[in-house]
């Protein structure tokens, strides 16, 4: 970078004012650097918290998916068992109807017809 050295007073500026302005600008730059460092530190902390929250969320999601899979398995078992109960109730109803017919005198349609004579 090319540096031009010339007398500040030559351009009509007061040397003390220019030195004060340069010093003030340098102080503002240092202050801005400190604020930027604090902001970067805060941002890094927030990113760390975000990563921690994200990993917790992913773990919760995996657990929820596993539980949902287990629920689907249990629902399938419940459905199968419900079908079995309905089938058994139909069988019981048929047997009760046949027993009732036997008891009330309709041997042609009751169990007595199917039961071998002893």
Q: What is the pLDDT of residues 20-44, one digit of tens each?
A: 888 888 999 999 999 999 999 999 9
pLDDT average, residue stretch 68-82: 97
Distance of CA 29 to the CA centre of its chain: 44
d(CA 87, CA 19): 100
Task: Tokens 């010093």: give the residue.
Answer: 23
With a cut of 70, say whether residue 46 has pLDDT above it: yes
Distance of CA 30 to CAs 38, 39, 44, 54, 57, Å? 12, 14, 21, 35, 40
Which two structure tokens, joined as six digits, stand for 77?
């078992």
For residues 15 and 8, the answer to whether their CB atoms sit within 8 Å is yes
Is 0.75 topped by the overall pTM? no
């Amino acid at each position: 970078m090319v540096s031009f050295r010339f007398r500040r007073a030559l351009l009509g500026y007061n040397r003390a004012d220019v030195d004060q302005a340069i010093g003030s600008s340098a102080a503002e730059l240092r202050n801005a650097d400190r604020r930027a460092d604090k902001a970067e530190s805060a941002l890094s902390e927030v990113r760390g918290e975000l990563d921690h929250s994200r990993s917790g969320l992913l773990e919760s999601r995996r657990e929820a998916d596993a539980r949902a899979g287990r629920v689907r398995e249990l629902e399938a078992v419940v459905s199968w068992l419900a079908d079995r109960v309905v089938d058994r109730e139909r069988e019981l109803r048929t047997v009760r109807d046949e027993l009732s017919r036997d008891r009330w005198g309709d041997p042609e349609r009751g169990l007595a017809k199917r039961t071998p004579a002893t």
